[in-house]
Structure 1
Amino acid sequence: MGDEKLHLGLAPLRSVFRCSTNILDLNHDTMLRVYDYLTDMTDKVRLASTAPKFREAFKIWACKQRHKLALEDLETMKLPEMINFFTLAGPYIKVLQVDCAWHEKESLLMEFLAEYCKNLEEIYYSNVTDDFHYRTIMSRMKHLKRITIDCVDAEDVLSFDLQSNRGLEYFELINGCYTGKHLCGFPKLHTLILRDCLLWNSGEFGIPLRSLRILNLDDCCFEVMNESLYHKIADCCVHLEELHFSGCDSHFEVIAQLPKLKRCTLKTWVTSNELNIGFLNTLAEQRGNKLTHLHLSGQFEITIEHARALGLLHSLQELRWSNNDILEDDHFKFFNDLGLLDTYGMSFCGRVTDIGLMRLLRKCAQLRLIELKECDQITNEFVLNAIGCLAKPSPGRHLVINVLGTKIKESLLTSIEYLAPLNNVKLNFVCE
């Protein structure tokens, strides 16, 4: 470790034992505590290899922990030490981190992982290319529940096999190319995240079984957009509770028919695109009593009809707007039925002023948190008006305002109004 790391790891115990105490005379509980003082799994295994008594203590200790291994930690190991490491620690490793840019001892490591780490439940891949040598680990496991693959280039079409892992619950692909072929038929898959991905053949897009609860298609690029994708989501993902999607396509309103949808993020970067009014009306008419979280992002047009439809989402607890210079104070006039709204967030919305936010605050009696980022029309006046509004008899109502990049000044924190005993507003200046 050699001896130096063992020496440092045991240093906190010196105050407990006399110098004459032999390390092998430590009682069982103290031996277990020794492993808590060592941070690296490799050092724990080296300690376990020093004596049978420490080996047995390691096995007992390891059974009660959830162990993580980064393959780069093994790069300096020679073969005999690597064999010893996997023999002792392999059965207890549940989480694996793989930097695919590191090719040292690649074939050897994959064999050791397949032979000794049969209880792996999570793998996190980074720097993945279509070469993807470490993909064979997945096909040789049977208990994987969570997979994250972070790619170097979205053009890379990956090939992998997960079919032996019938308990797969979570799959995430970042900056890759997804063809829809690999993730159908997993009965326990509840989360599918495709972030910044290129989606090929969306008309044949494979939707997993009805167990899916979360679907994230955030910032994805569709090579060929097809309305059948929306219908597949609506028809197949009947238990979907959370959906993140980029686009305001005219067919998107079928998504609003999902019977259990609670959280929705809709994003578009097309300035001429209009937010699908059919989508909002369907939410308001059919699912307004279930949707609790809604995030709208992008430069889409917002009409009075849109505002009225949003105002009818009476179960909404959180509403967020991002990157929209069309949202105006007048839109807040129609938010009359948002009685459960607890959190309101707004970022890069340059037309909304203090007047709009005060309308929201007066209409939404349950509002407890407002988060503002880069909204340059919001000033000290809003905070002062909020203090005055909440100082009136309204039992137990407090408001937190988190701000970044507005015209609200930090000097407000020392003002007479802010320091007054009846002030129920807390103002936080947030750093990036």
Structure 2
Amino acid sequence: MSDKLSILEVSVEVISEIFEHLGSAEDRLEVVAAHPKFAEGFARFAATAHRTLKCGQLPLSYCSKVLQLAGDSVKSLALQNPANVVALMKLASDHCPNLEEISIPVRTEYWAVIQPFLLSMQKLKRIDLRNDFRPLEVIGALLEFPQLEFLLLVGFRNDNLSRIDELLGLTSLHVINNEPIDVYLFFAPLKNLTKLEVKVAYVNCPAQIDGDEYWPKIKELILTFGIFRSEMPYLPSLWHLSISHVMPDRKISQLFASSVSQYAHTLGSMGVVYETQTASIADARIISELKSLRVLCMPYVNNAFVGALKSDSLERLFIRDSWNLTNSGILRLLRGCKNLRLIDFGGCKRITKHLVQPALKILRKNGVLPGNPVEMRVNAEFGDHISHMDLTLMVISRCTADEKPDWTGYNLPNTSEDN
């Protein structure tokens, strides 16, 4: 009589661990098909491994099996291939009662089919819908989700977003569009927003009326293309502002002409890229008035701009690809911004290692200590052979042309509502 233990006699928990060591989805499916007990083991494995299920990275057959056997554990579901959406949405509707996040490509051809499946998922807090810019009305369906807080809409026409201002529970809205959308006309009623991100934004906000603040809770405002026909409205909770392309010829000194004194003690992080202009001394003076500003990202600047910056709050500065910037500009910057601890000037080819020695003298005068040195991110043109100098007050790191600066949303403040 054999004393060997059959694999079918081991616990489901042990069997579930087998799937952790199977590298491919196909291998896992073969094992699942071998015996019902293996299916139980897979269900236990998938319940932990696929709480977030990204179907674009896995075969349809594998995703279907996960949804069938472990759907009640799936919290987040991302679909990618429009050809598979109907089948997977049906499975998710049947087997995923606890789904909180979903991302799906939507098309006019099958929206009517999947809409009932989507509406059955009443615990959804985040919905991402990716359209192809053809007419499609989805806002009516989105109004049926009482817990919806986070919404991403890609490829929708403005006339299909006319009711978006009825989604009053939204705290985060991201719109990727290709025609300018009037942020005041479409989004002003959304008073609970803490984050608004729009690809092509038209900003023409009327003069504010006392007691009727725009987006009183908003912390982050991110515009890829900002078409400004008015000043920036004052947003009392705004901490992070990013405008990748300012259009038309508006400047910071114009955007904050009457609100700079209000933003002076609230705005902590800002990134602005001019479309066709150069940052001026007037811009630097406005920025210097922002007494809470800790992070600034402004590429393509010159010596005059950085030399005019005077800030005791600024800690991190990203001024990449500023081709006219030289060593003298950086030295003037260090004198005017004594608490800077990071300067990223990758792509500034006229800044060289000869900056180091006079910069160290300024840092000593500024009271910089070895335990909290200034980091300078440089590129190849900066040069080498500076190790003999006393660099305890300065850290020099190399950056590459394709490396993105890590400035976005730096140190967003927490509030009691975040906990």
Task: State the TM-score, normalized to the length of structure 1.
Answer: 0.75
After TM superposition, the structure 1 = structure 2 runs for residues 38-49 of structure 1, keeping only pairs within 5 Å, are: 38=22, 47=31
1:189–1:208 contact (8 Å) kept in structure 2: no
| Number of the residue aligned with 1:118 | 97
2:77–2:101 contact (8 Å) kept in structure 1: yes
Q: Does 1:244 align with 2:229?
A: no
Please report how far the alpha carbon of residue 339 of structure 1 lies from its aligned counterpart in structure 2 after TM superposition: 1.5
2:68–2:95 contact (8 Å) kept in structure 1: yes
**Identity of aligned pairs, percent?**
21
Q: Which SS does the other structure have where 1:111 is aligned? A: helix
Please report how far the alpha carbon of residue 249 of structure 1 lies from its aligned counterpart in structure 2 after TM superposition: 2.3
After TM superposition, the structure 1 = structure 2 runs for residues 387-426 of structure 1, keeping only pairs within 5 Å, are: 387-390=360-363, 394-395=368-369, 396-404=371-379, 407-409=381-383, 412=384, 414-417=385-388, 420=390, 422=392, 424-426=394-396
Please report how far the alpha carbon of residue 291 of structure 1 lies from its aligned counterpart in structure 2 after TM superposition: 0.9
Residues 145-176 of structure 1, C-alpha deviation per residue, up to 9 Å, x if partnerless?
22334455xx4333222223222222223454
Distance 1:202 1:45, change over 3 A: same
1:250–1:276 contact (8 Å) kept in structure 2: no
Q: Residue 344 of structure 2: which of 345, 353, 371 is its match?
A: 371
d(CA) in 2 for partners of 1:156 and 1:51?
A: 47
Residues 84-143 of structure 1, C-alpha deviation per residue, up to 9 Å, x if partnerless?
65431222222222224x425x544432232222322222335x5554648624333212
Question: Quick one: which amino acid aligns to residue 237 of structure 2?
Answer: K
2:343–2:375 contact (8 Å) kept in structure 1: yes
| Number of the residue aligned with 1:92 | 73
Distance 1:201 1:305, change over 3 A: closer
Q: Does 1:293 align with 2:269?
A: yes
Please report how far the alpha carbon of residue 364 of structure 1 lies from its aligned counterpart in structure 2 after TM superposition: 2.3
2:157–2:177 contact (8 Å) kept in structure 1: no
2:368–2:393 contact (8 Å) kept in structure 1: no
d(CA) in 2 for partners of 1:286 and 1:119?
A: 44
2:16–2:45 contact (8 Å) kept in structure 1: yes
| Number of the residue aligned with 1:33 | 17
2:268–2:295 contact (8 Å) kept in structure 1: yes
d(CA) in 2 for partners of 1:244 and 1:309?
A: 20
Q: Does 1:24 align with 2:8?
A: yes
Please report how far the alpha carbon of residue 178 of structure 1 lies from its aligned counterpart in structure 2 after TM superposition: 3.9
Q: Residue 163 of structure 1: which of 140, 143, 146 is its match?
A: 143
Please report how far the alpha carbon of residue 74 of structure 1 lies from its aligned counterpart in structure 2 after TM superposition: 4.7
Distance 1:185 1:328, change over 3 A: same
1:162–1:182 contact (8 Å) kept in structure 2: no
| Number of the residue aligned with 1:16 | none
d(CA) in 1 for partners of 2:32 and 2:189?
A: 44
Q: Which SS does the other structure have where 1:407 is aligned? A: helix
Please report how far the alpha carbon of residue 57 of structure 1 lies from its aligned counterpart in structure 2 after TM superposition: 5.0
Please provide the CA RMSD for this pair: 3.6
Distance 1:334 1:429, change over 3 A: closer
2:269–2:296 contact (8 Å) kept in structure 1: yes
Residues 377-404 of structure 1, C-alpha deviation per residue, up to 9 Å, x if partnerless?
3233334433454466632331222234
After TM superposition, the structure 1 = structure 2 runs for residues 209-224 of structure 1, keeping only pairs within 5 Å, are: 209-218=190-199, 220=200, 222=202
d(CA) in 2 for partners of 1:130 and 1:374?
A: 45
d(CA) in 2 for partners of 1:372 and 1:138?
A: 47
1:370–1:400 contact (8 Å) kept in structure 2: yes
- Alignment coverage as a number of residue pairs: 388
Please report how far the alpha carbon of residue 64 of structure 1 lies from its aligned counterpart in structure 2 after TM superposition: 4.7
Q: Which SS does the other structure have where 2:75 is aligned? A: strand
Q: Which SS does the other structure have where 2:343 is aligned? A: strand
2:191–2:215 contact (8 Å) kept in structure 1: yes
d(CA) in 2 for partners of 1:247 and 1:56?
A: 53
After TM superposition, the structure 1 = structure 2 runs for residues 20-419 of structure 1, keeping only pairs within 5 Å, are: 20-27=4-11, 29-38=13-22, 47=31, 54=38, 57=41, 61-64=45-48, 66-70=51-55, 73-75=58-60, 86-100=67-81, 102-103=82-83, 107-125=86-104, 130-131=108-109, 133=111, 136=115, 137-152=117-132, 155-160=133-138, 161-179=141-159, 180-181=161-162, 183-199=164-180, 204-207=185-188, 209-218=190-199, 220=200, 222=202, 226-227=204-205, 235-245=213-223, 246-247=225-226, 249-254=228-233, 257-268=234-245, 270=247, 273-298=249-274, 299-300=276-277, 302-322=279-299, 324=300, 327-336=301-310, 338-390=311-363, 394-395=368-369, 396-404=371-379, 407-409=381-383, 412=384, 414-417=385-388
Please report how far the alpha carbon of residue 347 of structure 1 lies from its aligned counterpart in structure 2 after TM superposition: 2.5
Please report how far the alpha carbon of residue 273 of structure 1 lies from its aligned counterpart in structure 2 after TM superposition: 0.8
2:240–2:270 contact (8 Å) kept in structure 1: yes
Please report how far the alpha carbon of residue 341 of structure 1 lies from its aligned counterpart in structure 2 after TM superposition: 1.5
Please report how far the alpha carbon of residue 213 of structure 1 lies from its aligned counterpart in structure 2 after TM superposition: 0.4
Task: State the TM-score, normalized to the length of structure 2.
Answer: 0.77
Question: Quick one: which amino acid aligns to residue 220 of structure 2?
Answer: E
Question: Quick one: which amino acid aligns to residue 138 of structure 1?
Answer: L
Please report how far the alpha carbon of residue 288 of structure 1 lies from its aligned counterpart in structure 2 after TM superposition: 1.2
Which consecutive unaligned segments of at least 5 residues does structure 1 have?
1-18
Which consecutive unaligned segments of at least 5 residues does structure 2 have?
403-419
Distance 1:317 1:35, change over 3 A: same
1:145–1:167 contact (8 Å) kept in structure 2: yes
